[in-house]
Amino acid sequence: MSFHRRAGKRRAALPAGWLRLIPALTLVGCCCGTGLAAGSDAASPPATDLTELTLQELMNIEVTSAAKTPQSLQDATAAVFVISREDIRRSGVTSIPEALRLAPGIQVARISSNAWAVSARGFNGRFANKLLVLMDGRTLYNHLFSGVFWDIQDTLLEDVERIEVIRGPGAALWGANAVNGVINIITREAGATQGTLLTAGGGTEERAFVGVRQGGKLGAGTFLRLYGKAFERDGGRDASGREGADDWRMQRAGFRLDRQADAVDAFTVQGDIYRGRIGETFVVPTLSPPFSRQFDEDTDVSGGNLLSRWCRTFSETSDLALQVYFDRALNHDAITGQARNTWDLDFQHRFAPASRHSLLWGLGYRYYEDDTRPGLTVAFDPEDDSKELLRAFVQDDVELIPGRLRLTVGSQFEHNDHTGFEIQPTLRLRWTPRPNHTLWGAISRAVHTPSRAEDDIRLDQATLPTTPPTVVALVGDRDVEAEELLAFELGYRSQLTPRLALDVATFYNRYRHLVTAEPGAPFLETEPAPLHAVLPLVGDNRMHGKSYGAELAADWHPLSRWRLQAVYSYLQLLLDVDTGSKSDLFKELARTAPHHQASLRSSLDLPRGVELDLWLRYVDNLPAPDIGSYLTLDARLAWTPRRNLELALVGQNLLDDRHPEFASEKLDAAVMEIERGVYGKITWQF
């Protein structure tokens, strides 16, 4: 791995290899259009315009993540928000983390052009560990460091059917680490993406991007989708205005095959591969004055996944599903190198054991393995490791009063190689006093189980100018226990009028055994030279706390072609160390999420196929990383000159030249400010 300094951010167009990829992707789409699509259905119709749906239809949108079985949004006994395909299109976002800003209760902050901090109801950070994220049932959670590496999680956004966002624990169904929320990214079935789609564009920050998708019919009930995409995103600037090295280039391709053999059996096989180069400016400790150095580095990333799912429907009240997937991810930079493999097997069965009962149960097995190499600041001991996870869950949904009162009780039972056996139960009650009005409440327990980092890592964070020099290092400990949450939730969801819908959720959370870093006994090291001391901060569970807050979402159609959506979130997180703790280092987590967040979106359909979308967002200040509050505006103007052809102009962060949003909490990297950007986009379907 070679290190090199860059005088400034690269503002050149895509490299030559990438330029060759653009016509290649286009050629693939055109060839598929004459081959695979020859026997396909007609080209897909344009996306459904949600401004034309009634609120009753919006409240009946089907969701699956809250109960792990289909139900209407109105009937969900959880704080659920649905980000639709149309929401994504009209917001003008270009990545999944940006789309998550649409939901209440989700903290989304951009660390740099390519790094994100995303969490639910607090504890935000680059490696936020209390939010479980899935894509089509495949977990995106990183078992090595915890959290999600958002710079490698992507797909063609036009193929996302919806993103279901659950705030609050979902561990009873989804297992450990679904502590403060679950995000499920659901892509469209292949049969819904027939024909050819080409999209391309570029601008000041979104330097260049291109995507192609081809869908075809292979036979009766069998559909295939192929896609490819590539992009280059410009970097940001630091506080002094210096151009950063955080540029971002990715290439990705994938497929999905769906077969509905009959009314009983359905099969899905899908997969993705990707590769890219991700820039960043690191600050690492050294053993000689000035005891730190800063350098620019490109991280090479690559990986892929393959998933298969079989579903059998016996009746309206009985079905089963079997899913298996494999995921591989590699990234290598100066800080550390890693290769991660995940194998997962999941089975679930739903049936009605008695009148008014719907019983859902399932089993699962997951095997992780990783191969790491030490870098400038991060090392694992042992370097290679593997873990197993066994899980089972059961949930009974009981209709106590038909059409009025429903009780849900269930639990997840897991055994992991970190903390052993864990039980995560939930009890939920839903009352429907009259049509279109739902009141729900829940009590749940969830746990975050330690990752490899909390067990085995050594992360050198700083060098103190003592004699000899003293390196301060975070050190894992295999005695670290699971962090625990006991959550109390209450919510109300209603269609107040034919043009106004309201969703309110409140919560009170109690946390125990939160991870701290306790000072250990210093020791001397001779390698690397010169002689130096090490002050270890060792992982332990000596912190507790509570949080409470409220989240509001309102959807109003003042006119048939005008939609207004408002969301607001309030969060208070209070943490304290236990008696006997000697460090309050991680108490700063209480100050990494804003107390207040709000946004207002306007979607207006104008004559002659013109759309105007405005999105105003406010984020309160973050005291711990010393980030000030900010107000920003995104705008999108689109025109459809003819059916299936759309031209769009999007402006992002329009109210200031640039602003910071977050600072990396454990990995010391330069704080980048997010700049104002404008890009154009063309989308053509045929």
Distances (CA, A) of 588 to 472, 621, 623: 18, 14, 9
pLDDT of the residue at 1: 34
12 or 605, which is more confident: 605
Q: Could you tell me which of 93, 20, 173 has the C-alpha nearest to residue 653?
A: 93
pLDDT at 278: 94
Sign of the alpha-carbon torsion through 490, 588, 98, 163: negative
What is the pLDDT of the chain when averaged over all its residues? 89
What's the half-sphere exposure (Cβ side, CA atoms, 13 Å) at 117?
26
Predicted confidence at residue 13, as pLDDT, reads 39
> Coil, helix or strand for 500?
strand
pLDDT of residue 42: 34
- What pLDDT score was predicted for residue 75? 85
- Phi and psi, residue 42, nearest 5°: -60, 160
pLDDT recorded at residue 664: 81
Radius of gyration of the chain (CA): 25
Report how far Cα 373 is from the mean position of its chain's Cα atoms: 27
- Does residue 672 contact residue 113 with C-beta atoms inside 8 Å? yes
- Quick: pLDDT tens for 112-158: 999 999 999 999 998 899 999 999 999 998 888 888 999 999 999 99
Residue 297: what pLDDT?
A: 87
**What pLDDT was estimated at residue 27?**
36
595 to 128, 270, 504, 621, 670: CA distances (angstroms)? 17, 40, 17, 8, 25
For the stretch 318-372, pLDDT in tens is 999 999 999 999 988 888 889 999 999 999 999 999 989 999 999 999 999 999 9
The whole-number pLDDT of residue 15 equals: 38
Please say if the pLDDT value at position 311 is more than 80. yes
Given this model, what pLDDT does residue 53 score?
A: 52
Distance (Å, rounded) from C-alpha 207 to C-alpha 278?
Answer: 14
Q: Which two tokens stand for residue 522?
A: 């210093």
pLDDT at 621 over 50: yes
pTM of the model: 0.90
DSSP secondary structure letters along 34-97? HTGGGGS-SPPPPPP-GGGS-HHHHHT-EE-TTTTS-EEGGG-SSEEEEEEHHHHHHHT--SHH
Quick check: 41 pLDDT over 50?
no
In tens, the pLDDT along 455-476 reads 999 999 999 999 999 999 999 9
Which helix H or strand E contains 435, and what residues bound it? none
Model pLDDT for residues 473-497, shown as the tens digit of each residue: 999 999 999 999 999 999 999 999 9
Give the CATH number of domain 16-685; options: 3.30.1360.180, 3.40.50.720, 2.40.170.20, 3.40.630.150: 2.40.170.20
